[in-house]
Structures are given as C-alpha cells and as structure tokens.
Amino acid sequence: MDPRFREDDKIMDFLLTEEHLMIQKMARDFAQKEVAPFSMELDEKSEFPSRHLKKMAELGFMGMMIPTQWGGSGLDMISYVLALEEISAACASTGVTMSVNNSLYCGPISRFGNEGQKKKHLIPFASGEKLGAYCLSEPGTGSDAANQSTTAKFNGSHYVLNGTKNFITSGPHADAMVVFAMTDKAKKHRGISAFIVEKGSKGFSVGKIEKKLGIRASSTSSIILDNCEVPKENILGKEGEGFSIAMNTLDYGRIGIATQALGISRAAFEASVKYAKEREAFGQSISNFQAIQWMIADMATRIEASRLLIYKAAFLKDKNLPASKEASMAKLFASETSNFVTNKAVQIHGGYGYCREYPVERYLRDARITEIYEGTSEIQRLVIARHSLKD
C-alpha cells in the first residue's frame, strides 16, 4: 500500500467546498451559454476561440492556480479541474487552450521563475491578457523528450537558439513560450535548459500550421528558431535544469489533459442519455433496451472513475505531495475512457452519430488526441510502472 495513506484511509474529503461549487457553477453557466453554442461552427471553420478567451480572462480562468500578486486567481487545483471540465465539455479546443496557458506556460514560470520574470512574463499571461505555449516536442523527438536537438548557445550577451519545435498547441497565437533546448549535449538530459521566448524575437517564426482530425479550433503549429536571440535573463531556472522543469510541468499538465478528456466524455454521455430517451425503435424508447442500458452503465462508471482519479491527483498537488504516478493514472484512464465513451456515444446515436448534425462525431474526433499529447498512453503506462515497481 502507498505509505502516504497507510495511517488513515480518509485521504480525501469527497465534499467540494462552497467556493468549489460556486466556481463550478460559474464555469458551467458560462460554458453552456457562451461556449457550447459556437463549438460546432468553430470546429467546422478551424477557428481559434479568441472570442471565448477574453471572457475567460475576465472570469479568472487563464491563470487559476497562480497567486493573485502574479496576475492569477490564487485558487487550488481542484477549482481548476472543476472549471476545465466545464469548458472542455462545451468545447475541447477551448479546453486545451486554457489548459496549456494555465499548466504548461504559467505553471513553470510561477514555480521556477524569478521576480523579474514573473513581473514581465507571468502577470499578463495569468491575467489572460496574453497567451502562452510550451515547446518540448520536435519533429524527431516526441516520447523520448530527453533527446532534444534544439540547441542554445550563450554568446556572451544572449542565448542563440537553433531548432524546430513541433505540434505546439496555440503556437500561431501565443505571445510567448517556454522552450526547451540543449545547452550542453554531452550531459544528455542534464544538459537541457528552459527559456522564455517571446514572439517577435529575432530569428523566431511560426512554421507549418497543422490540419487536424479533432480539436480543430485549437491551433497547432511548428515553431522555428533560426539563430533566435533570447536575452540571458530569460533562462528559467539554471542551465541544465530544463528536463526536470519539463517533467514537473507535465505532472500538472497531464491532470489538465485528463480533465479535458473527462469533459469530452461527459458531454458525449449527456448527449447519449438524451438521445436514448428520445429515440424510438420497435415501438419504444431505445433506453428501454438492455443493449443501450449496458452501454450507458459502462460509460457512467468509467466517467466517474476518471473523475475520482483526477480529483485524487489534484488533491495531492494541492497538498504539495508527489503525484507523478497519480497524474499519469488520471491521464491514462480518463483519455482511454473518453475514446471508449465517445465511440459508444456514436453507436447509441447510430447513423445520426456519424453525421455532423449531432455533436458526437466531434467528441469522438476530439477524444483521440487525449491519448497522444502530453505523453501517450504508452508513456503514462511507463511512468506508472516505474513508480509501482519502485514503491
């Protein structure tokens, strides 16, 4: 048994606080009234959800866990996952845009940045005035993140970065990004450093914009660093600390993607229950058939299990306890659940589920990425197995 929980099995208060419930309600009202009605259109046009981000900034959703002195809302991670589930249930593309800004950009700057960096590169992002991104993957480096090809050389006055970053969420719209690059290749992962790179820096450009299967309203591109000049004060942490910063950041990010997957699952489930009650076949509602009921039961159970894994991982983070394994478990289970649930949702809807008139085909397309980005399901299993064998 996990030694952290041996003494007491009351590890979690399952009751959300009044404040949590208020945040959840505020997010749900906003998401259902102002985000959901446009999701289909944004998906069709592959249109970035800028219109929602402004309002989400006003609601304090773009830097939820960042202290108020640094432009954020100063809330806990449970509040964040509650809000993110609501946004993702309404629009998974808006969900990932929110998640990346909160956990992949603002998160590492708030934990590893110095005062000057926080003033300049955190306040406007946590308040939602600007948007951030995270550049780890490269054309030849996805799962094997330690094997970075991008280099950073200090030339006496600033760092010069060279390389291409791939599949960067919000890449074309981001005002700044946390970028990982090798400052000392001989040291392998201990030679990786993290930098804050601003759009408009000399040698920085946005590369190919991807056309995607799902989350089409989020924007994804490569980022080209061609002798890109980065001021020396923009190094995040010390030289060589980059890989550890990247991994620490992904512990939070994976809880975010698990939550995005949960939101997609919930939306698909709710649509399926509604449809099953309305649709008639053989002279009665299809919800009377056990074939449908069993699908609904399996969907409901896996969604609830996903939610509990996410809450547990977020709860541990809020208590400043290690949660890499739990974050990976939440991400693995919630993302596989979203693929299971959205598939069943299409099945319940039959031919209508395959057509764009109903939202479930979008949910199925949107769910697919949750098993890939911020660590594939295979990488999550690797992390879980390593921790389990070590425990």
Catalytic center residues? 374
Under the criterion CB under 6 A, does residue 189 sit at the interface with ligand CAA?
yes
Under the criterion CB under 6 A, does residue 92 sit at the interface with ligand CAA?
no
Tokens 């997609």 identify what position? 264
> Which of 385, 277, 252, 278 lies closest to 331 in space, CA to CA?
252
* Least distance CB 190 / ligand CAA (angstroms): 5
Tokens 């046009």 identify what position? 45
**For residues 73 and 83, what is the distance between their CA atoms, to the nearest angstrom?**
12
Under the criterion CB under 6 A, does residue 88 sit at the interface with ligand CAA?
no
* Least distance CB 127 / ligand CAA (angstroms): 21
Helix (H) or strand (E) holding 260: helix 242-278
**Per-residue mark of binding to ligand CAA, 229-268 (x: CB under 6 A):** --------------xx--xx-xx-----------------
Q: What is the DSSP letter of 9?
A: S
Under the criterion CB under 6 A, does residue 377 sit at the interface with ligand CAA?
no
Q: Which of 138, 326, 361, 374 binds ligand CAA (CB under 6 A)?
A: 374
Under the criterion CB under 6 A, does residue 379 sit at the interface with ligand CAA?
yes
* Least distance CB 10 / ligand CAA (angstroms): 27
User: Dihedrals φ, ψ of 158, to 5°?
Assistant: -150, 170
Q: Which of 93, 110, 166, 169 binds ligand CAA (CB under 6 A)?
A: 169
Question: Which residues contact residue 73 at a Cβ distance below 8 angstroms, ignoring those fewer than 6 apart?
Answer: 60, 61, 63, 64, 65, 66, 79
CA distances from 110 to 36, 44, 107, 164, 251 (A): 31, 36, 5, 26, 15
- Site residues for ligand CAA, 57-86, by CB under 6 A, read none
Q: What is the DSSP letter of 17?
A: P
Under the criterion CB under 6 A, does residue 145 sit at the interface with ligand CAA?
yes
Q: Identify whether the C-beta of residue 236 lies closer than 8 Å to the C-beta of residue 196.
A: yes
| Residues forming the site for ligand CAA (CB under 6 A) | 100, 104, 134, 136-137, 143, 145-146, 168-169, 189-190, 243-244, 247-248, 250-251, 324, 373-375, 379, 382-383
